[in-house]
Amino acid sequence: MGSDAGERTGQEQPKGLGYTVHGDQRGSLPVFERQWQEMLSAEAEPEFGPQERLFAERKIEALNAILPPAPATMLECGCGSAEVSAAMAAQGYDCTLLDASPAAIHVARRRFERRGLRATYTLGNVYSLPFPDNTFDVLTSFGLLEHFVDVEKVIAEMTRVIRPGGMFFADIVPERFSVQTVGTVFNAGVRLAYYGLQGDPRRGAYEAGRLFKPDFYENDYPLTRYRQYMHDAGLRGVVIRGNRPVPVLTLPGIVERPYVAALKRGANLWRRFDEAGSPLTNWWGAGWWAWGVKLPTKAV
């Protein structure tokens, strides 16, 4: 494991990099380590709810259309609980799961073992990946890149370990306006109403406020900046486009079921949105999917 990650687990602050009020600017590791520790001690599988499950299914469908088919070697950086990689492993991909949080690696391993899936588990740091150049057919990350200030270094390091002709895929969710902003306003209202009705409006205000100020750091870089970094790293055929025209909403089960059913009925429209790559899609979509192919030799 890269020594940098080893120094920055737990409550420690990264040396010489500074903090913002809302987290570590180099991956928000202390925040994530706490989250994975809680999941680990809960013993329960971190299961997705019906909305997250549907969104993950749509992502896997898109990955199947974009990535080279199995069998192929696939590294997920910042794997967390590795839900998406588990689905890819079930399709025959040979997965390596890397995270700088020891608890995340335990949670990922537990998920894979409970499903009878195999993977290679690596505690490591995306600034200094413990693999030789040109190793993997596919490299993925989901919800990772937005947690760095110096994201260009991370993209360059990730690209280093992809074999020439192999593919880079990142799901990026930076801090910016999107459909999820609208969803977050709605979700804050739900919390205010719920705790208000329980006679605890202060708790409602606290829980609503937390939605707008998460503990972790998120950059607000424009799509063009990510595109440039991918190009600079030696990736070509770079595509970055918005995806998911609908938000995650906090809903009681009785309302969530028809919401999810309606989203399933509108799957074709949703697909057309995800495939459009228009300025509207890139602005409104909840996140960006970014992919490209590594050149045989890095272009100057």
Ligand X SMILES: C[S@@+](CC[C@H](N)C(=O)[O-])C[C@H]1O[C@@H](n2cnc3c(N)ncnc32)[C@H](O)[C@@H]1O
Near ligand X by CB under 6 A: residue from 23, 25, 27, 166? 27
Least spacing, CB of residue 36 vs ligand X, in Å: 6
CA-CA-CA-CA dihedral for 190, 192, 197, 203, to nearest 10: 130
Choices 141-149, 177-185, 200-208, 288-296 (CB under 6 A): range interacting with ligand X: 141-149
Q: Which is nearer to ligand X, 195 or 289 (CB)?
A: 289
Pick out residues in 56-115 that bind ligand X (CB under 6 A): 78-81, 83, 99-101, 104
Taking CB under 6 A as the rule, does residue 39 contact ligand X?
no
Q: Which is nearer to ligand X, 101 or 159 (CB)?
A: 101
Token reading at 213: 């100020």
Alpha-carbon distance 113 to 23, whole Å?
32
Choices 136-144, 155-163, 223-231, 281-289 (CB under 6 A): range interacting with ligand X: 136-144
Please report which helix (H) or strand (E) contains residue 58, including its range.
helix 50-66
Alpha-carbon distance 251 to 1, whole Å?
41
Least spacing, CB of residue 54 vs ligand X, in Å: 15
Alpha-carbon distance 124 to 1, whole Å?
4
Q: Which is nearer to ligand X, 40 or 204 (CB)?
A: 40
Alpha-carbon distance 31 to 242, whole Å?
27
Least spacing, CB of residue 220 vs ligand X, in Å: 16
Which amino acid is present at 263? L
- Give 14's DSSP letter: P
Q: Which is nearer to ligand X, 32 or 195 (CB)?
A: 32
Q: Which is nearer to ligand X, 63 or 79 (CB)?
A: 79
**Residue at shortest CB range from ligand X:** 27
Residues 82-104 as b or e (16 or more Cβ within 10 Å = b)? bbbbbbbbeeebbbbbbbbbbbb
Pick out residues in 213-242 that bind ligand X (CB under 6 A): none
Q: Which is nearer to ligand X, 106 or 195 (CB)?
A: 106
Least spacing, CB of residue 61 vs ligand X, in Å: 16
Residue 192: Cβ-neighbour burial (10 angstroms; 0-12, 13-18, 19+)? middle
Q: Can you give the binding site for ligand X, defined by CB under 6 A?
A: 5, 27, 29, 32, 78-81, 83, 99-101, 104, 125-127, 142-144, 147
